[in-house]
Structure 1
């Protein structure tokens, strides 16, 4: 984030604290309960947002060197992500071209070759078929035509993007919607992988996204966990196409008053959270990044899971500070044990059939923006704004 933007955001937060105000969406909106409970809607989302839309599957640090790989199956599509011999990020259908077996079964690691466990057809990290056992018995195979099926993939601003369809398009200008310079300034490509957790939850996937959309709940839900460290119901908010940036206000901002603005850094008084359409949150701390990817279980509207991946800046790792790993994991556990528990309770209430809508307040602009861009992507009318 450019210095001028950091100062602008911090001053906005200070102004809200001083005036006792928050970002104002100008009114309230009602979102229908079926947004979260409709099987037909869930099927539409699965096809449109997860099987037919570019996905962020991680950060550059997941593939730190040639031969590194990760595997993914979050779109009901086995994916093998590699860094090939030249250092290029590649993505393939993790499916053997012989009989369709899954080639690589490990979650992550480093290998020079990938061998199918069924008949040992073997592939290089660039997808080439390099060995067919007993080829003289099997029959002549044109190896150039039987490599792993490659998927559109690009490494942009330290994020790994894949389109689940072989004929899909990665239009980074549209996907980033103006965020590229800011993401470049964070130097995400240098982040080092620290670990990953998966949280299974009995709720619609969008309720998980919603928990990141406001700090109105901090003084109640997080009164003994996050609220001592954050000013609740105070935020700065900016949109970038279907994406947004919400800057949470930490209590560290109080220490910046009266100091030289030239010495301010955004993470001294704020915690930037980027939402990347349709299902990713990038949480940026001073020394760590927490990447949250939220998925439904296929077209089931009542179950979802979140993959929480932790990354650290290499210079912080050099200090051998255990808190580098402990603090982001503690933050993620609060999401699991407080936010997601409350959201699952909301889902249970919505499934009761006794509510026909939920209400987004004027102090919850991220929810207004998220749900209207979501609806626009599905060809639905926007939620009307009503005076509060």
Structure 2
């Protein structure tokens, strides 16, 4: 993985990408061999969000994230420290926990009752003398890298030199500090939504600026021409400012008129919808009333699952609850429109008539993603799929 990271840095540092004016080709969105390489080169080394620290407030509280065939437990130990482990018993590889969350004094394997502490130590083995090779201190739970950024917990499976979440978000620290992420609490627990599209289609659409005035009437009404995108290496920044003109849509107009004041935010932030997309598949949607996170995880060459959760500062005001409901009503329509779009793009990507499309200078986020992707998977420069078995050569 170190060689992969070195190659990535060398290629990404090139002054000119010869394929900069072309999108990623369609075959990358359907090919099983591509998915296998993505798992090793893109997903295993990348940070993935699990939850907020406040979601595991007490000793033994845990959350679980399943993706690309792995299962990771994030748990708060008796000492208050948050750690991450593989959800795999060291005896016969049994999954230790089921479900998305829980609380455990110990992790007891349901297969043979091996017992692991919340700090990962193996402390109990029935018939321990029956295992000549067993060393308790050498068979604790496998540790997974963990990072906490502004209260949110991230994990990664391997270290290949990719930047930390803090590094990816460094250009925006001054902007996000005012939102007080660390003090937020969950207002909508994890939702999983299956999608019949390649994971890259979700991310491409998220960062695409040109489709907003064409396909999202609601966003166009509330943002007018204020929607902007920026690429900052490992993270994209997108934003739209709410206009003063009342919308013809009830919930849009209600939100813009009745959103209560957030004293911790500037007047600009109060009226701004702010979005950050982090490499390779995570996004924060930041509003004055709440923050949503979303990640799109591959489940097959042409399928993925959206994993979503919402957090906010504690606020029991009735008008804030109504504003959050109005926010949800507005974005429910946007999500439905986006789902319709990406499903049809996925269908088009499967057509043998499509290779790669020209990409505009203004499509800076798509250009940035494609540049990094080609560095990791050079075959992505081919506009048509190579013969089967190409990834083995």
TM-score normalized by structure 1?
0.78
Counterparts of 1:172-183 in structure 2, within 5 Å, are 172=164, 174-183=167-176
Counterparts of 1:1-388 in structure 2, within 5 Å, are 29-135=22-128, 142-165=135-158, 171-172=163-164, 174-193=167-186, 194-223=188-217, 225-231=218-224, 234-252=226-244, 264-297=266-299, 300-314=300-314, 316-317=315-316, 321-323=320-322, 326-327=325-326, 329-330=328-329, 333-379=332-378
Confirm or deny: 8 A CA contact 1:103 1:114 kept in the other structure.
yes
Quote the offset at 1:328 in angstroms: 5.0
- 1:280-303 CA-partner distances (Å, limit 9, x unpaired): 011101121110101111xx3211
Unaligned runs of 5+ in 1: 1-26, 256-261, 384-388
Quote the offset at 1:137 in angstroms: 6.3
Q: Distance in 2 between matches of 1:238 and 1:43?
A: 30
Q: Who is 1:17 aligned against? A: none
Quote the offset at 1:38 in angstroms: 3.4
- 1:194-228 CA-partner distances (Å, limit 9, x unpaired): 212212111111110122113433344222x4443
Label 1:119 to 1:329 Cα distance change in 2 as closer, same or farther (>3 A). Answer: farther
Aligned length: 346
Confirm or deny: 8 A CA contact 1:205 1:296 kept in the other structure.
yes
Q: Distance in 2 between matches of 1:64 and 1:251?
A: 39
Query: Residue 221 of structure 2 aligns to a residue in which SS?
Result: coil
Q: Distance in 1 between matches of 2:271 and 2:221?
A: 14
Confirm or deny: 8 A CA contact 1:129 1:146 kept in the other structure.
yes
Confirm or deny: 8 A CA contact 2:227 2:239 kept in the other structure.
yes
Quote the offset at 1:42 in angstroms: 2.5
Unaligned runs of 5+ in 2: 1-19, 247-255, 257-263, 383-393
- 1:33-90 CA-partner distances (Å, limit 9, x unpaired): 2342333332221211112333233333332333221111112111111112222221
Q: Distance in 2 between matches of 1:219 and 1:238?
A: 17
- 1:275-332 CA-partner distances (Å, limit 9, x unpaired): 11111011101121110101111xx321112111111212x25769543653454455
Quote the offset at 1:272 in angstroms: 0.9
Quote the offset at 1:361 in angstroms: 3.4
Q: Distance in 1 between matches of 2:162 and 2:362?
A: 34
Query: Residue 41 of structure 1 aligns to a residue in which SS?
Result: helix
- 1:211-264 CA-partner distances (Å, limit 9, x unpaired): 2113433344222x4443232x54233333221211123225999xxxxxx984
Label 1:85 to 1:115 Cα distance change in 2 as closer, same or farther (>3 A). Answer: same
TM-score normalized by structure 2?
0.77
Confirm or deny: 8 A CA contact 1:208 1:343 kept in the other structure.
yes
Query: Residue 282 of structure 1 aligns to a residue in which SS?
Result: strand
Confirm or deny: 8 A CA contact 1:72 1:79 kept in the other structure.
yes
Q: Who is 1:13 aligned against? A: none
- Cα RMSD over matched residues? 3.2
Q: Distance in 1 between matches of 2:26 and 2:36?
A: 16
- 1:104-138 CA-partner distances (Å, limit 9, x unpaired): 11211222222111122222221122323354666
